[in-house]
């Protein structure tokens, strides 16, 4: 007699929950069938492979609400329901289903809520001695100010009920915090706000598979943009390029400890920020994440299959894996986000803690800058090996920007910059032609962009309101004219490296993914 | 004709990253194509830059390349793998554009790669506005007045002609990037210039706008033997002026007379034949609601978002069949996987109603312009199946995950009457909820029609749903009494049954009666009001279906399949389940 398992899909594609969860759901179904179970899928997205009637043993084309799912559970009487592969949509059903008497396979609803309940999670970190940026939950505007002045600005603020970074902001001063509390959110005891110290560092993320005994880390991904840019909007590289062995060791140890303590069965995603050679935990997601398909392919480790078998009770050791970080294949893979800004009028394209990208591409190579080039070209960025660069750099970014802009100048780019930036660059021996701000008479920088005289725009986000208002216009102009606009210096540095790899004249090769793997 | 034996190795190009206008549908199409080709013993070389896809899985194709989708990198893949053929019609506009460039630059010829399926001249004919219009004129299919524009001066000349409104469509773009509707000279210049720069060919088409006409789509298939079928037709809830990707869509069409249905079906078959498409094709048509006049709007000579929807709506796997046609098989040689008895030349029949609603990103982009026009803004979509339009609509709405479980929008009840009228006239993501609110305030179907031009048939359905809200509110007391002593024969029980058949969720019944959702559920079960499951079988139960693909509805007959050995299990665990219910 075949036992049945229900897999909850991820619903419609939206920003923050894309095609990757269809990949995860489908692979879970395939693994279940391979393991001799009857796999049943529930989903309502007609674009997907999971709703292909060939994929599962039974497909229910139904809304992913508690009522609709429960009807199917009652009819099918499955061994249990798997919720960790359908993104936040599925994981949100864990607790209500459990409360209705349905067995959740994989990490338990309690383990899921441990990851999602801020207070309980902080307690776990404390208990295990795992560092995290200081911060607290507040229920009033005054409480927010107190906590912020205690931990020190800048702080990262967000409503506790929000997922995927909505309404999340980095706040640099008390005035900004006041305005955020007044305009951006309604704070109250039932709608608390999270305030955390914003740690300027490198963001790193891992997806781990655990079975209650051991914890397998297929790989570590390093974000190219510094902390503060949403992980879905960051470029990322595998294997990490800038982490010390000590940090890697901390990450492996912390991830393993967390998986064990939280009794993870299946997948979990953990995000870290690394500063001063210390890896601090930012957040955990008790489910398969966006990066699982990408990591599965470049490591050759069938992550969803391992996780599904682990959920069904087959240990990872029995599946041929030992705990810890797995051997790194001889390749470098860069993931690049893709935006749909041309389609959305009035949307500011500046990157921040709120996710804005709709998709992603990957570039695989054996050399980092060439992988960057492939990923950027694949993402639709018009990567020119020469031309003109326009730089408008916020004051707090100026000193760091010099080396990056110099790299563009060395590649033969003509540099245009706003008055202040130009003066700053010239003083450092970088020839930059000053152009007027938007508020100044024509021809100003907006005209320069619209006339097609700019090939790359670097516009870092300012905390000054007037400058920022102009920044929005400049960035939109770049979208309309179709030139790359980089709002993070890290992306700009990556682009200069990519251009240099192209300009070297060394031709690019292609290889099937399997040819990279040992 | 059996499969062409010369084709041993085929390159399939995917659609690249997910962007607005190109979502998961091409992963579905590409994955089906890989499976379908490998079934025929063909080796598949796959190229896509999107690592999140299933099609780029290492065991989905024989060779997987995650490389940029540019001519440079595609040429290297071809040089390395030396495929015999290239299947260009499964990777959306991105894949098609790349294949076209590879052909035009002589790369395919240099490496001896054949373009499979629809030929390049056919693709060009369908994609190039002018050639397409000339063809339509030759075969007697009407097209709207239009002009091809390649400069700003030409835009000004058209503005001087004084025909408004006009629709601007850039050539060779995705999801209508850079398009829009212009009602005066300023708008025309703005949208037109944007379109020129968005177009791969610096070309836009300006067209008389058929605002208020019905928008209908047909998914049609054709093989090399000139056998053609319609897989299904679909009707847009929103009339002309809204991108079909941003429109609520219903399948099959609901407001067409048989004469209208046949008129448009014949036109679609006429078009796919004249284009000599070998594979799937999507035909978009506009129909004047007041006469039998229609216009052909556009044709997509490839697998599309609409074909994915049509596949799921009917159970007919368009991409899978298109891949087989591309390697030489005919429709009458390809078995239908759902029934296992019929062939792919069998037109599907539907005994249910399908509704698709787009999922927009305005919850993330609160400052974005929420107006819906000819430029697509949705990132995804949900589909729902039920026995009636009403129930399918309600299922789709609650599937959107926008915090709405019925037709009561988030803050629509706070809008002034003036804003309501404006909200009905201007399409936005909230229009459906605003229309429902208008009915709640007593507006007539005729008034809503006058503002929206949405077919009164659809409007009456929405009105019927609003009426049910009212009836539930009026009967709240009776329902509360029923909670205390459930009686199946009570007329109030019939009301609940009716609400469920109309697609009302327990949560929505709860919201309208003030009874807790859990209580509604308990009451319902006590009254025996539970869903049954029906099968999507492509043939309206004419044959026994093999593939189990289900949807729920509140009727009596259950078509769901449970094997005998499992029926036993069900009985034992049913007892356990009841005790778990608490």
With CA atoms as reference, the chain B residue closest to A20 would be: B52
Q: Nearest Cβ partner of B24 from A45, A164, A297?
A: A45
B503-522 residues touching A, CB cutoff 8 A: 505-507, 517, 521
Domains of chain B, each with CATH number or no CATH: 9-116 (3.40.50.20), 145-208 (3.30.1490.20), 214-350 (3.30.470.20)
Picking from A56, A510, A513, A517 by the largest number of B CB atoms within 10 A of its own CB, the best residue to mutate is: A510
Furthest-apart CA atoms within chain B: distance in Å = 80
A290 touches chain B (CB under 8 A): yes
Q: Nearest Cβ partner of B552 from A15, A71, A102?
A: A71
B32 touches chain A (CB under 8 A): yes
DSSP code string of B339-372? TSSSBTTSPPB-SSEEEEEEE-STTT-TTS--B-
B152 touches chain A (CB under 8 A): no
Query: Taking CB atoms and an 8 Å limit, are A49 and B375 in contact across chains?
Result: no
Domains of chain A, each with CATH number or no CATH: 4-105 (3.40.50.20), 134-197 (3.30.1490.20), 202-222+240-327 (3.30.470.20), 376-503 (3.40.50.1380)
Is the pLDDT higher at A345 or at B445? Answer: B445
Q: Is the pLDDT of residue A333 over 70?
A: yes
Residues in chain B within 8 Å Cβ distance of A362 = 49-51, 66
pTM of the model: 0.93
Confidence grade of residue A464 (pLDDT, cut at 50, 70, 90): confident
How confident is the model at residue A160, as a pLDDT?
67
Confidence grade of residue A166 (pLDDT, cut at 50, 70, 90): low
* Å between A194 CA and nearest CA of chain B: 19
How confident is the model at residue B202, as a pLDDT?
82
Q: In A28-178, where do the E strands start and end?
A: 38-43, 58-61, 80-82, 104-105, 135-138, 155-159, 169-171
Is the pLDDT higher at A158 or at B217? Answer: B217
Confidence grade of residue A353 (pLDDT, cut at 50, 70, 90): confident
pLDDT tens by residue, A32-73: 999 999 999 999 999 999 999 889 999 999 999 999 999 999
A317-376 residues touching B, CB cutoff 8 A: 333, 335, 338-340, 342-348, 354-356, 358-364, 374
Instruction: Supply the mean pLDDT for chain A.
Output: 93
pLDDT tens by residue, A374-423: 999 999 988 889 999 999 999 889 999 999 999 999 999 999 999 999 99
- Can you name the residues that pair with A328 across neighbouring β-strands? none
Q: Is the pLDDT of residue B212 over 70?
A: yes
Q: Is the pLDDT of residue A141 over 90?
A: no
A325 three-state secondary structure: strand
B382 touches chain A (CB under 8 A): yes
Is the pLDDT higher at B337 or at A491? Answer: A491
**For B54, how many CA atoms within 13 A lie in the half-sphere containing its CB?**
33
Sheet holding B214-222, edge to edge: B294-300, B279-287, B214-222, B228-236, B249-251, B353-359, B380-386
How confident is the model at residue B578, as a pLDDT?
41
* Nearest residue to A310 via CA among A267, A252, A253: A267
* Å between A138 CA and nearest CA of chain B: 24
Confidence grade of residue B11 (pLDDT, cut at 50, 70, 90): very high
CA dihedral of residues A29, A33, A37, A38 (deg, nearest 10) = 70
* Å between A367 CA and nearest CA of chain B: 15
Q: Is the pLDDT of residue B581 over 90?
A: no
Count how many pairs of residues, chain A against chain B, have C-beta atoms within 8 Å: 312
CA dist B192 and B210 (Å) reads 18
Q: How far, CA to CA in Å, does A439 sit from each of A240, A335, A432, A477, B537? A: 43, 37, 20, 15, 64
Q: How far, CA to CA in Å, does A376 sit from each of A478, A495, B22? A: 17, 8, 19
* Å between A195 CA and nearest CA of chain B: 21
Query: Taking CB atoms and an 8 Å limit, are A514 and B312 in contact across chains?
Result: no
Residues in chain A within 8 Å Cβ distance of B317 = 52, 54
Backbone angles phi, psi at A113, to 5 degrees: -70, -25
Q: Is the pLDDT of residue A496 over 60?
A: yes
How confident is the model at residue A351, as a pLDDT?
87
Confidence grade of residue A269 (pLDDT, cut at 50, 70, 90): very high
ipTM for this model: 0.94
Picking from A25, A45, A163 by the largest number of B CB atoms within 10 A of its own CB, the best residue to mutate is: A45
How confident is the model at residue B285, as a pLDDT?
97
How confident is the model at residue B259, as a pLDDT?
97
Q: Nearest Cβ partner of A64 from B80, B361, B399?
A: B399
């Amino acid at each position: 007699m075949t036992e049945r398992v229900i897999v909850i899909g991820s619903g419609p594609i939206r920003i923050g929950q894309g095609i990757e969860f269809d990949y995860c759901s489908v692979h879970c179904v395939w693994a279940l069938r391979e393991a001799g179970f009857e796999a049943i899928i529930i989903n309502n997205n007609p674009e997907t492979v999971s709703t292909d009637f060939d994929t599962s043993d039974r497909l229910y084309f139904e809304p992913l609400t508690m009522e609709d799912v429960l009807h199917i559970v009652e009819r099918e009487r499955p061994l249990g329901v798997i919720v960790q592969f359908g993104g936040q949509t599925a994981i949100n059903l864990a607790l209500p289903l459990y409360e209705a008497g349905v067995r959740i396979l994989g990490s338990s609803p309690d383990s899921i809520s441990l990851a999602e309940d801020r207070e309980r999670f902080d307690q776990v970190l404390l208990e295990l001695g795992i560092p995290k940026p200081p911060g607290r939950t507040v229920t009033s505007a005054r409480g927010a100010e107190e906590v912020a002045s205690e931990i020190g600005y800048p702080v990262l603020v967000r409503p506790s009920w929000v997922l995927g970074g909505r309404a999340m902001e980095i706040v640099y001063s008390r005035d900004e915090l006041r305005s955020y509390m007044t305009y951006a959110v309604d704070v109250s005891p039932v709608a608390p706000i999270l305030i955390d110290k914003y740690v300027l560092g490198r963001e790193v993320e891992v997806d781990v598979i655990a079975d209650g005994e051991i914890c397998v880390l297929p790989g570590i991904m390093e974000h190219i943009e510094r902390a503060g840019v949403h992980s879905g909007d960051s470029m990322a590289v595998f294997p990490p390029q800038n982490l010390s062995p000590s940090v890697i060791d901390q990450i492996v140890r912390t991830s393993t400890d967390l998986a064990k303590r939280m009794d993870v069965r299946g997948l979990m995603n953990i995000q870290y920020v690394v500063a001063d050679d210390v890896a601090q935990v930012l957040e955990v997601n008790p489910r398969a994440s966006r990066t699982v398909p990408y990591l599965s392919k470049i490591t050759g480790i069938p992550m969803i299959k391992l996780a599904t078998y682990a959920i069904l009770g087959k240990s990872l050791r029995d599946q041929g894996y030992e705990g810890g970080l797995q051997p790194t294949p001889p390749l470098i893979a860069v993931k690049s986000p893709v935006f749909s800004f041309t389609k959305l009028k009035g949307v500011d394209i500046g990157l921040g803690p709120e996710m804005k990208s709709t998709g992603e591409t990957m570039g695989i190579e054996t050399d980092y800058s060439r992988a960057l080039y492939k990923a950027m070209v694949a993402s639709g960025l018009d990567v020119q090996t020469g031309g003109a660069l326009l730089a408008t750099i916020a004051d707090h970014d100026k000193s760091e920007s010099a080396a990056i802009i110099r790299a563009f100048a060395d590649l033969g780019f003509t540099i245009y910059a706003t008055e202040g930036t130009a003066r700053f660059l010239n003083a450092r021996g970088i020839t930059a032609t000053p152009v007027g701000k938007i508020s100044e008479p024509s021809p100003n920088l907006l005209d320069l962009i619209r006339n097609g005289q700019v090939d790359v725009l670097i516009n870092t986000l300012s905390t000054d309101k007037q400058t920022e208002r102009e920044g929005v216009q400049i960035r939109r102009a770049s979208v309309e004219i179709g030139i790359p606009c980089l709002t993070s210096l890290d992306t700009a540095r990556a682009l200069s490296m990519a251009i240099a790899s192209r300009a070297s004249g060394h031709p690019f090769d292609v290889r099937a993914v399997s040819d990279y793997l040992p | 004709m059996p499969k062409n034996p010369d084709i041993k190795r085929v390159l399939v190009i995917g659609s690249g990253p997910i962007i607005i206008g190109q979502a998961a549908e091409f992963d579905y199409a590409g994955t089906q194509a890989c499976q379908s080709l490998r079934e025929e013993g063909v080796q598949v070389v796959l190229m896509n830059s999107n690592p999140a896809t299933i099609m780029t899985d290492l065991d989905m194709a024989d060779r997987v390349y995650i490389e940029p989708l540019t001519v440079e990198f595609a040429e290297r893949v071809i040089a390395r793998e030396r495929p015999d053929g290239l299947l260009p019609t499964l990777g959306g506009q991105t894949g098609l554009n790349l294949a076209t460039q590879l052909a035009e630059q002589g790369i395919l010829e240099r490496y001896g790669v054949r373009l499979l399926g629809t030929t390049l001249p056919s693709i060009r004919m369908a994609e190039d506005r002018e050639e397409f219009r000339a063809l339509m004129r030759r075969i007697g299919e009407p097209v709207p007045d239009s002009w091809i524009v390649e400069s700003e001066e030409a835009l000004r000349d058209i503005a001087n002609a004084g025909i408004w409104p006009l629709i601007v469509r850039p050539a060779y773009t995705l999801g209508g990037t850079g398009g829009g509707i212009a009602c005066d000279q300023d708008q025309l210049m703005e949208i037109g210039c944007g379109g020129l720069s968005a177009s791969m060919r610096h070309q836009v088409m300006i067209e008389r706008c058929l605002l208020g006409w019905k928008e209908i789509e047909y998914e049609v298939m054709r093989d090399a033997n000139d056998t053609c079928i319609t897989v299904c037709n679909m009707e847009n809830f929103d009339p002309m002026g809204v991108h079909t990707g941003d429109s609520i869509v219903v399948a099959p069409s609901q407001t067409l007379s048989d004469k209208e249905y046949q008129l448009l079906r014949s036109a679609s078959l006429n078009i796919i034949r004249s284009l000599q498409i070998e594979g799937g094709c999507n035909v978009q048509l506009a129909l004047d609601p007041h006469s039998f006049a229609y216009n052909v709007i556009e044709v997509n000579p490839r697998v599309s978002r609409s074909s994915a929807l049509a596949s799921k709506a009917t159970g007919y796997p368009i991409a899978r069949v298109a891949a087989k046609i591309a390697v030489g098989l005919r429709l009458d040689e390809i078995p239908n996987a759902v029934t296992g008895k019929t062939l792919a030349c069998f037109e599907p029949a539907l005994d249910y109603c399908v509704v698709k609603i787009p999922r927009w990103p305005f919850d993330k982009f609160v400052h974005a312009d929420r107006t819906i026009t000819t430029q697509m803004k949705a990132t995804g979509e949900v589909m729902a199946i039920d026995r009636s339009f009403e129930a399918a609509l309600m299922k789709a709405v609650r599937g959107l995950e926008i915090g709405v479980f019925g037709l009561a929008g988030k803050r629509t009840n706070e809008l002034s009457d003036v804003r309501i009228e404006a909200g009905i006239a201007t399409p936005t993501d909230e229009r459906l909820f605003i229309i429902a609110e208008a009915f709640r305030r007593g507006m007539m179907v005729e008034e809503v029609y006058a503002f929206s031009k949405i077919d009164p048939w659809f409007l009456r359905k929405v009105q019927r749903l609003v009426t049910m809200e009212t009836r539930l509110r009026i009967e709240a007391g009776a329902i509360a009494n029923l909670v205390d002593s459930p009686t199946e024969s009570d007329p109030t029980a019939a009301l609940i049954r009716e609400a469920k058949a109309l697609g009302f969720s327990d949560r929505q019944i709860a919201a309208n009666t003030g009874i807790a959702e859990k209580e509604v559920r308990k009451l319902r079960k006590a009254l025996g009001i539970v869903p049954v499951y029906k099968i999507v079988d492509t043939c309206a139960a004419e044959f026994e279906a093999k593939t189990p693909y289900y949807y729920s509805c509140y009727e009596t007959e259950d078509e769901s399949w449970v094997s005998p050995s499992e029926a036993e299990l069900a009985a034992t665990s049913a007892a356990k389940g009841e005790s778990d219910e608490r």
